[in-house]
């Protein structure tokens, strides 16, 4: 038996696509058989499986489990919950791998699979290898067992093991995503006043799209914080691995600034340690880490790339502008928005300062949001290469770790190609509005030289 996985669903960090169009039950079964084969070929025997709250997730999970068991792997189903809960299961249940059925923050009709093998990220060539094994029918066979484990309460217990907080007034917006039940449990365990928004899991996402990196999706959270005079608010994406935040003044706080705040107590405990952030992150973060005696390291965007680099560098904490924050300090090295929220409350308690004051203590810059726009898929990578070639010929100061991050006296700007879609990403940061305007003019001039006009 062979199966062809549509190349468009083979993303850099996971398998993901529109259900019923490019991703179906046969694909879920094939992913299960191929992943079982990879597990068996490293002498593994068991896999934990979880799912998010999307309408298609139960059927896809059932097909995946059938593929895993018929590939000779024992399956431990941990049920409905956020992706970090599945990661926690993979780290603690003595299994050899983990798969979460999730569409993350993508549109309602999308879904997919995030995978881990032997506590390591499974991405890039590993994802492509699933398709190779399926196309060749190169699958192990067997009759694995299928069992269940209830881990939500144990996961929440673990989130709070080191927490020594004081009462705060907090709003929590789960966006009708898979983090809802965990957020509800946290709210009953944490001291203070907690107002819950959209914690009922609903794969239609009736209130707003569960992507906290888009400021418009924080409107309900901001309204609650301001209406009730709360200290702060936290929001989560559809599978609970990305965090958004609003301070007590109703300002959205980007994840790179959250990481700058979170890094300080970690660096007190681990002096001189490396703190990793992706190329989209603010200079305020890198400057703050250096001022605290840490070693700031800029790295490629993508949760799997960051996790792998953390292992290489023995980094205790890392993050991405998109909202992924990773702790190896007192945690397991994976991205967990619920844990990041608990750690932020801990910093507020230790310092006696609300989130707004912690943000105001950081250097101030003006910046664009992450600007993403479609381009010809065939030209996507070539456009960035053309810009890099011109910049090199001009003697510009360019960091090439992921696309081109160009530093000038005005600040910096970034151009990179998406790893998962036919999109280019632009972002710029400067000390004032006039400098930011000049930076964006440089970006647009470079794009125009490659025949690209950036949408307004």
- Is residue 11 helix, strand or coil? coil
Calculate the CA dihedral of residues 297, 298, 300, 304 and round it to 10 degrees: 40
Per-position DSSP letters for 196-261, written without gaps between them:
EES-S--TT--SS-S-TTSGGGGHHHHHHHHHHT-SEEEEE-TTS--EEEEETTS-EE-HHHHHHH
Which is catalytic among the residues 46, 104, 281, 322?
A: 104
| C-alpha span between 311 and 278 (Å, rounded) | 15
Active-site annotation holds for 104: yes
- Is residue 115 helix, strand or coil? strand
> Can you give 138-180 as a three-state secondary structure string?
CCCCCCCCEEECCCHHHHHHHHCCCCCCCCEEEEEECCCCCCH
What are the distances in angstroms from CA 106 to CA 140, 261, 327, 419?
Answer: 32, 28, 24, 15
Catalytic residues: 104
């Amino acid at each position: 038996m062979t199966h062809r996985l549509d190349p468009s669903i083979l993303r850099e960090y996971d398998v993901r696509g529109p259900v019923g169009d490019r991703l179906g039950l046969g694909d879920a079964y094939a992913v299960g058989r191929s992943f079982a084969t990879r597990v068996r070929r490293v002498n593994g025997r068991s896999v934990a499986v979880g799912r998010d709250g999307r309408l298609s997730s139960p059927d896809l999970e059932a097909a995946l489990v059938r593929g895993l068991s018929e590939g000779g792997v024992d399956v431990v189903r941990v049920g409905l919950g956020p992706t970090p809960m599945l990661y926690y299961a993979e780290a603690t249940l003595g299994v050899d791998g983990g798969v979460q059925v999730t569409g993350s923050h993508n549109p309602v009709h999308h879904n997919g699979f995030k995978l881990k093998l032997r506590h390591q990220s499974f991405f890039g060539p590993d994802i492509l290898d699933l398709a190779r094994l399926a196309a060749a029918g190169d699958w192990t066979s067997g009759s694995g067992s299928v069992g269940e484990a209830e881990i939500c309460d144990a996961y929440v217990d673990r989130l709070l093991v080191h927490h020594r907080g004081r009462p705060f007034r907090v709003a929590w917006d789960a966006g009708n995503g898979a983090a809802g039940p965990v957020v509800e449990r946290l709210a009953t365990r944490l001291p203070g006043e907690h107002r819950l928004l959209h914690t009922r899991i609903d794969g239609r996402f009736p209130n707003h799209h569960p992507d906290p990196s888009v400021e418009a999706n924080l409107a309900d959270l901001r309204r609650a914080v301001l209406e009730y005079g709360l200290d702060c608010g936290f929001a989560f994406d559809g599978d609970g691995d990305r965090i958004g935040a609003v301070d007590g003044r109703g300002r959205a706080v980007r994840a790179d600034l959250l990481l700058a705040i979170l890094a300080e107590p970690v660096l007190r405990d681990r002096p001189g340690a490396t703190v990793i952030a992706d190329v989209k992150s603010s200079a305020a973060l890198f400057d703050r880490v250096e001022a605290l005696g840490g070693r700031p390291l800029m790295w490629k965007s993508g949760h799997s790339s960051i996790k792998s680099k953390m292992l290489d560098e023995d980094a205790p904490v890392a993050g991405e502008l998109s909202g992924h924050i990773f702790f190896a300090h007192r945690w397991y090295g994976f991205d967990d928005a619920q844990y990041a929220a608990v750690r932020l409350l801990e910093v507020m308690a230790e310092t006696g300062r609300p989130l707004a004051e912690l943000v105001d203590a950081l250097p101030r810059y003006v910046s664009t949001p992450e600007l993403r726009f479609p381009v010809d898929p065939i030209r996507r990578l070539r456009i960035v290469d053309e810009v890099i070639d011109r910049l090199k010929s001009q003697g510009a100061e360019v960091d090439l770790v992921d696309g081109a991050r160009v530093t000038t006296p005005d600040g910096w700007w970034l151009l990179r190609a998406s790893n998962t879609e036919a999109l280019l990403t632009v972002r710029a940061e400067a000390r004032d509005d006039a400098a930011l305007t000049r930076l964006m003019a440089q970006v647009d001039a470079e794009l125009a030289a490659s025949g690209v006009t950036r949408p307004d």
